[in-house]
A and B are shown apart, each in its own frame.
Chain A
Amino acid sequence: MSYLTLSFALIFVIIPLVLSKTLHLGLEKDTLVAAIRSIVQLLIVGYLLQYVFDAENILYILLMVLLIIGAATQNARKKGAAIKGITWKLVITFITIEVLTQGILLGLSITPATPQYIIPISGMIVGNSMVLSILFLNRFTSEVETHENETELILSLGGTPKQAIHRQLTDSIKASIIPTIESQKTIGLVQLPGMMSGQIIAGADPVQAVQFQLLILFLVMTSAIITSIMLGYLSYPTLFNQRMQMLVGKNNKV
């Protein structure tokens, strides 16, 4: 696709701008900012990837993966501000997911050890983990708050923090994973996944594209469940002190 052809795609930016202006939706500025940011960010990433692919240097691959993990952490940490040390918990979770998935992919030679495979797959997996983290943290914080009396009841009857928070933890893990499972159930029926569509548009064999998409789907499934469970079990102890007292909530200090 040439830049001239791509410029025609700006029609799809002009349409919402015109509609917003006509209907006084007030979305012109946000639409424009979003469009400009997409162009700039993706072009930078495009050129950066081209450089990394050409260089074929392991250090650059590592830097790119770290950049992905850093950006994902930065984005997700705001949702878990109430949890002490959430930044490091997210970093550890994302690194574990990355090492586990790439370890299996590369170790079993499922994908070649080239930047063209490692970087995009890392982006998809860590990106998915980031969304899962946000979903989990949102739900977990709200569950802890809503069921504070239950937590307190279990503690008061001689339960441990793990017993006291178990229901909130499992409910939050389930709630964050359900969208992934549900979307995978209807995949291919309602919409074609983005990566697969991209490959087909770029001229790849559809069956080959499906095979890669299946690989990603399975990776996403694994990363989803590991993200929620890891983050949950890393997070809940910080809600209590050594004396098994809750540190957050309406009745407490924080």
Chain B
Amino acid sequence: MTDNAAIQFKNVNYSAGGTHILKDITGVFVKGKITTLVGPSGAGKTTLFKLCNGLIPPDSGEIYLHDKHIDSYDPVKLRLGVGLALQDATMIRGSVRNNLALPMELQGKQLAEEHANELMEVVDLDKQLLDQDAKEISGGQRQRLSIARTLVNNPEILLLDEITSSLDRVSKKDVENLIMKINRDYGTTIIWITHSIHQARTIGDYTWVMMDGSLMESGESGLLDNPENNAVNQFVKGEVE
């Protein structure tokens, strides 16, 4: 067991629909740090997140959260502690407020107006939007709302899947700063899937490079400057999509 591990994978495999999606993944996401996760589409990055949040079980191998096996956690408590914001930023039927209040409502609580306003401010969303239909807001606003919604539970680990993909450059920078602030102020472990090598390099303390379901390289983000693996090198140079 690694002492500084927030999440540790040991020989994890996962298949679905006859496809071997994750192949023998072994590695560590370091506690209190930002790890960026890069790799071409279909590398298994989102599936890895779903395993961390306990949404799907591995076929084989072990996953440890802090120092305990993931299966020893109550599923609800596990998911409250491991926040997940996916790229599609799915919204439930109702207003922005309904979506923001969802995590609290699921626990039988109510989201105070003050808290709602605070969260909207954190992700730089106008408070006026609270009563608007969530289906009517833009893709970028949806991504911000999705981040705010994930923050409601104050998770110890935050899994962010391409959360800045629909944002313009300025907004992207704001969200990056926000996530770095959360990491700094609360010691939240951040794991961030991104398609941008630049973002992975600048935001991440550590980086995982995944390709075709395998963890090709991992280590400090500087590895992206000079990858050992030839396939990773090609990917970093933009020769593999």
Q: A149-B88, A157-B79, A159-B76 are in contact. List 12 more A-B contacts (CB 8 A).
A: A149-B90, A153-B90, A155-B79, A156-B79, A157-B150, A158-B77, A158-B106, A160-B76, A167-B92, A241-B57, A246-B55, A251-B50
- Select one of B50, B54, B93, B106 contacting A163, CB under 8 A: B106
User: Hey, what's the 0/1 contact readout for B105-146 against A, CB within 8 Å counting as 1?
Assistant: 011000000000000000000000000000000000000000
List the A residue with the shortest CB-CB distance to B53: A156
Decide: B93 and A155 in contact? CB cutoff 8 A.
no
A243 at the B interface (CB under 8 A)? yes
C-alpha gap A152/B161 in the complex (Å):
15
- Given the complex, which residues of A lie within 8 Å of B86, measured CB to CB? 153, 156
Decide: A251 and B16 in contact? CB cutoff 8 A.
yes
List the A residue with the shortest CB-CB distance to B50: A251
Decide: A245 and B57 in contact? CB cutoff 8 A.
yes
List the A residue with the shortest CB-CB distance to B54: A243
User: Hey, what's the 0/1 contact readout for A210-254 against B, CB within 8 Å counting as 1?
Assistant: 000000000000000000000000000000010111100011110
Question: Which 7 pairs, one residue from A and one from B, show the smallest C-beta to C-beta distance?
Answer: A244-B75, A159-B106, A158-B80, A149-B90, A158-B79, A156-B84, A157-B103
- The CB with the most chain A CB atoms within 10 A, among B17, B77, B88, B90, is that of B90
Q: How many residues of A contact B (CB 8 A)?
A: 22
Q: How many residues of B contact A (CB 8 A)?
A: 27
- Select one of B17, B53, B92 contacting A154, CB under 8 A: B92
- Given the complex, which residues of A lie within 8 Å of B225, measured CB to CB? none
- Count how many pairs of residues, one from A and one from B, have CB atoms less than 8 Å apart in the complex: 63
Q: Which residues of A contact B (CB under 8 A)?
A: 149-150, 152-160, 163, 167, 241, 243-246, 250-253
C-alpha gap A167/B93 in the complex (Å):
9
Interface residues of chain A: helix, strand, loop or mixed (majority): loop
Decide: A252 and B16 in contact? CB cutoff 8 A.
yes
Minimum CB–CB distance for A63 against chain B, Å: 45
C-alpha gap A244/B55 in the complex (Å):
8
User: Hey, what's the 0/1 contact readout for B73-102 against A, CB within 8 Å counting as 1?
Assistant: 001110110001010101011000000001
Decide: B106 and A251 in contact? CB cutoff 8 A.
no
Within 8 A of A (CB), among B9-64: 16-17, 50, 53-57
- Select one of A149, A160, A163, A243 contacting B57, CB under 8 A: A243
List the A residue with the shortest CB-CB distance to B81: A158
List the B residue with the shortest CB-CB distance to A167: B93
Decide: B107 and A155 in contact? CB cutoff 8 A.
no
